[in-house]
Amino acid sequence: MVGMVYVLKWNVNTFDEDALVSVSDLGRTGETSSLPRLAYADGKIFA
């Protein structure tokens, strides 16, 4: 898949620059692909 991935803090009162953890570009159409899955670590699920 292509697009952008935004990682946000889930426990903030307001969405501002401090809530944004990272932004990742998955690439251009035809140049890359990603089929992300849920990941489990230390008792937590990550998407």
pLDDT, tens only, 1-47: 567 888 889 888 888 888 999 888 877 776 666 666 778 888 888 87
Q: What angle do CA 3, 17, 6 make, to 5 degrees?
A: 20
Contact between 40 and 15 (Cβ < 8 Å): no
Which pLDDT value is given to residue 32? Answer: 64
Which pLDDT value is given to residue 1? Answer: 59
